[in-house]
Amino acid sequence: MASISARTRGNLLLLVAAVMWGLAFTAQRVGAERVDAFTFNAVRFAMGAALVSAVARGLDAARGTSAARRRAMRRAVLWPALACGTLLTAAAGLQQAAMKDTTAGNAAFVTGLYILLVPVFGAFLGKRVRWPTVGGIALGLAGLYLIAITDTFTLARGDGLVMFAAACFAIQILAVDRWVGQLPALRFAAAQFWACAATSALAAPLFDPHPFAGLNLALAPLLYGGLISVGLAYTLQIFGQRAAEPTGAALIMALETVFGALGGALILHENMGLRGYTGAALMCAGIALSELAPGRPAPGHAAVGTPGSGRPGQPSADPRRRP
């Protein structure tokens, strides 16, 4: 059992990761003004993949992992990572495309809907949905209505795209769940990020109005989105979850939605208004209620799309997390 001090350190690492993920919505919002969606994601996920790969290689060297074992791990993660990385491309692409037409705060909270959609979609696969989760979903939908639907019952284009992105993230998380506990997490994460970078690069000429243009104008958002949000924050998540309790870990990571709104307000001077902040409070309450459901495993991070193992002190195998 993890000691109090170890658990506290784990929770602090997860809190730092949540702050990094939350502020990434601000970086994505700024980047969307300068670089098209799939181009932005191709570069930032390549950066994140390179950093996670470097961490994995460093750990292999420290542990004395044999060359044969490293080759076996690469082969094991190849096809699962390609499948999950392609789903991540769709989810992250929709989210980034939406950033031109919504605020960082709205994007953060609407993206958080994936946490509530996972059990809904899982129910169609025969997974049990508990009553606290049903109550959390109801609160989350009420909050979503206040955030995304105007008084005239219209849905902003950006918020609509983020809703589709949240649904894609939920599907991607369920796909990752297929391999949870079977694959080395850092290897799986890096391979998934490389797959997302590659498929985003292939999608850019097809869907971006100006593929691979303007990168020099968005260097800071790209560096933050790639090295900090994808690479560093994900690595902190892996090590934080080793000692954190699963439900507490899930609630801490769900704070990325709050930090997303704070980043938009403090850095971009966005204001969601009383209606939006009321909706945000309802969504936070819904997420908390859903994650407090008995037996609910810790979810993965949306931008990473990696699910948790649900076992105390044991991070999960994909990029919803682990080494």
pLDDT for 25-47, tens place per residue?
999 999 999 999 999 999 999 99
- pLDDT at position 162 over 70: yes
Query: For the segment 64-80, what is each residue's pLDDT rounded down to a tens digit?
Result: 989 999 999 999 999 99
pTM of the shown model: 0.85
State the angle between helix axes of 157-177 and 113-123 in degrees (0 to 180), rounded to the nearest 10: 50
- pLDDT at position 188 over 50: yes
Residue 320 lies in a domain: no
Residue 244 lies in a domain: yes
- pLDDT at position 289 over 90: no
Residue 309 lies in a domain: no
Specify the number of domains making up the chain.
Answer: 1
Q: What is the mean pLDDT of residues 251-260?
A: 87
Residue 288 has what pLDDT? 85
Residue 10 lies in a domain: yes
- pLDDT at position 314 over 60: no
Residue 205 has what pLDDT? 97
Where does the pLDDT of residue 173 fall: very low under 50, low under 70, confident under 90, or very high at 90 and above? confident
Where does the pLDDT of residue 296 fall: very low under 50, low under 70, confident under 90, or very high at 90 and above? low
Instruction: Calculate what percentage of the chain has a pLDDT beyond 90.
Output: 47
Buried b (16+ CB within 10 A) or exposed e, 220-240: ebbebbbbbbbbbbbbbbbbb
The half-sphere exposure of 51 on its side-chain side, counting CA atoms within 13 A, is 19
Among 194, 207, 231, residue whose Cα is nearest residue 42: 194
Element (H, E) at 151: none
Residue 301 has what pLDDT? 60
DSSP secondary structure string for all residues of 18-73: HHHHHHHHHHHHHHHTTS-HHHHHHHHHHHHHHHHHHHHHHHHHHHT--HHHHHHH
Where does the pLDDT of residue 9 fall: very low under 50, low under 70, confident under 90, or very high at 90 and above? confident
Instruction: Report which of residues 307 and 123 the model is more confident about.
Output: 123
Q: Using alpha carbons, list the distances in angstroms from residue 82 to 77, 98, 172, 183, 280.
A: 8, 24, 12, 14, 34
Q: What is the mean pLDDT of residues 310-322?
A: 33
- pLDDT at position 310 over 60: no
Residue 298 has what pLDDT? 54
Domain hosting 77: range is 4-291
Residue 166 has what pLDDT? 92
Which of the 8 DSSP states describes residue 126? T
Q: Are 110 and 162 in contact (CB under 8 A)?
A: yes
Residue 309 has what pLDDT? 35
For the chain, first and last CA: distance in Å?
19
Residue 167 lies in a domain: yes
Residue 252 has what pLDDT? 85
Instruction: Report which of residues 303 and 263 the model is more confident about.
Output: 263
DSSP-based three-state secondary structure for 183: coil
Residue 302 lies in a domain: no
Strands (E), 68-166: none
**Cα R_g (the chain), whole angstroms:** 18
Residue 321 lies in a domain: no
Q: What is the mean pLDDT of residues 4-12?
A: 82
Residue 164 lies in a domain: yes
What one-letter code names the amino acid at 301?
A: H
Q: What is the mean pLDDT of residues 121-128?
A: 82
Residue 300 has what pLDDT? 58
